[in-house]
């Protein structure tokens, strides 16, 4: 539900047996407006995506008498939705859940598609499953309270969607830069709706990520490596990953130079690209942890120009060699 006011969630949840999961930051801003149900708060950030957090939350659900008829309502960004969705999928072998998505990153990516996961050490989302929530509300008015870095981080995922599937998103981001930066609600609602429609069409065709859904990982092979090594926000890391994947696509002959320049110029326009210099031995280790790896190969997502992407199975060593080459330019 893109564009709906988040308060309308009261019409979508049961009258009892509901527990709300949120983080401290969201609670401080919106907590007084939450529906009158018990609230479980987690710490903001990736550190909450751990099995020990899931275990503590499950114990609290038991203490509150939540049974198999219970309902978990997540109100927050990607971390909150991941934690709440994973908890709902395993508690009592699965209970119902729904999301109020409060960040741009979550609205365009994390809350759509049914992926739920927690981290194992530094390896992202390696423990998880795919289970769809009953609803997702994306109220773009909530984006006004985001920090600038958090907002820009979400714009990176919007750019990704435009590169792999909906060129109109790229055109809007190119032509309406001042309005996007002012967080115009109408434009953001339009952009989020376009992104959700595209991702939903891909997921409906390939829910378990055995084929077409892999294109949603554009920029993520290098991006996750940058995120883990540099400790930057997800969107900024994925932006760096998209820059690398775009240059890699140019080298492999999938796109022309003007198409490559268009993508990288947009990433720079929104100040999304940061320096990164991952040592050769570290980039190898980080990519070997990538969930898209299959033996000695990896399913790498290339761009064929804005609105088009392709997945090719290539040796992991080729990916590592390209990064070394990129850093030695």
Say what the pLDDT of residue 4 is.
81
Q: Which of 46, 150, 209, 243 is catalytic?
A: 209
Residue 287 has what pLDDT? 81
Answer yes or no: 289 catalytic.
Answer: no
Q: Report the pLDDT value the prediction gives residue 190, as an integer from 0 to 100.
A: 96
234 tagged catalytic = yes
CATH number for the region 6-144 comes to 3.40.50.1970
Q: What is the pLDDT of residue 291?
A: 63
pLDDT bracket for residue 286 (50, 70, 90): confident
Percent of residues in the chain assigned helix, strand, coil, to nearest 5: 55, 15, 25
* Phi/psi-derived region of residue 209, left when phi > 0, alpha when psi is between -120 and 50, beta in every other case: left
- Report d(CA 264, CA 156) in Å as an integer: 11
- Of the candidates 214, 224, 292, 299, the residue annotated as catalytic is 224
- Where are the domains positioned within the chain? 6-144, 148-327
Q: Which of 160, 199, 276, 292 is catalytic?
A: 199
Q: Is residue 318 annotated as part of the catalytic site, yes or no?
A: no
Question: Of the candidates 19, 21, 22, 20, which has an alpha carbon nearest to the alpha carbon of residue 65?
Answer: 19
Active site residue 229: no
Q: Return the half-sphere exposure (C-beta side, CA atoms, 13 A cut-off) of residue 48.
A: 22
Active site residue 217: yes
Q: Which of 124, 234, 276, 291 is catalytic?
A: 234
Would you say residue 292 has pLDDT above 70? Answer: no
Specify the fold of 148-327: Dehydroquinate synthase-like, alpha domain (1.20.1090)
Residue 52 is among the residues annotated as catalytic for this protein:
no
Reply yes or no on whether 281 is catalytic.
Answer: no
Say whether 209 is catalytic.
yes
Does the predicted model carry a pTM greater than 0.75?
yes
Q: Which of 160, 194, 214, 220 is catalytic?
A: 220
Q: Which of 25, 116, 119, 217 is catalytic?
A: 217
* pLDDT (tens digit per residue) in 213-238: 899 999 999 998 898 888 889 999 99
d(CA 151, CA 77): 11
Cβ-based burial of 202 (10 A; exposed 0-12, middle 13-18, buried ≥19): buried
Strands 297-303 and 293-294: antiparallel
Closest to 309 (Cα-Cα) out of 246, 257, 261:
246
- Write down the catalytic residue from 41, 49, 115, 194: 115
pLDDT (tens digit, 9 = 90+) per residue, 26-60? 999 999 999 999 999 999 988 999 999 999 999 99
């Amino acid at each position: 539900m893109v564009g709906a006011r988040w308060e309308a969630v009261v019409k979508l949840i049961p009258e009892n047996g509901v527990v709300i999961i949120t983080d401290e930051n969201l609670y401080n801003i919106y907590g007084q407006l939450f529906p009158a149900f018990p609230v479980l708060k987690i710490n903001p950030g990736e550190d909450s995506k751990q099995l020990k957090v899931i275990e503590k939350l499950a114990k609290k659900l038991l203490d509150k008498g939540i049974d198999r008829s219970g309902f978990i309502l997540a109100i927050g960004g990607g971390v909150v939705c991941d934690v709440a969705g994973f908890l709902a999928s395993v508690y009592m072998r699965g209970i119902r859940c729904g999301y109020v998505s409060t960040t741009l990153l979550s609205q365009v990516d994390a809350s759509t598609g049914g992926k739920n996961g927690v981290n194992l050490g530094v390896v992202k989302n390696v423990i998880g499953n795919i289970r769809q929530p009953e609803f997702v509300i994306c109220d773009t008015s909530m984006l006004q309270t985001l920090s600038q870095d958090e907002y820009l981080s979400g714009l990176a995922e919007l750019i990704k969607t435009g590169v792999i599937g909906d060129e109109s998103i790229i055109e809007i981001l190119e032509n309406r830069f001042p309005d996007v930066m002012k967080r115009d609600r109408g434009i953001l609602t339009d952009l989020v709706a376009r992104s959700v429609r595209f991702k939903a069409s891909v997921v409906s065709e390939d829910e378990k990520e055995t084929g077409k859904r892999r294109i949603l990982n554009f920029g993520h092979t290098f991006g996750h490596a940058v995120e883990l090594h540099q400790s930057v926000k997800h969107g900024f890391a994925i932006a760096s990953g998209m820059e690398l994947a775009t240059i890699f696509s140019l080298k492999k002959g999938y796109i022309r130079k003007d198409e490559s320049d268009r993508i990288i110029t947009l990433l720079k326009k929104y100040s999304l690209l940061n320096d990164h210099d991952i040592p050769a031995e570290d980039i190898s280790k980080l990519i070997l942890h990538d969930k898209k790896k299959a033996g000695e190969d990896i399913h790498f997502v290339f761009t064929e120009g804005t609105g088009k992407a392709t997945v090719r199975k290539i040796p992991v060593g080729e990916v590592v060699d390209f990064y070394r080459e990129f850093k030695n330019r």
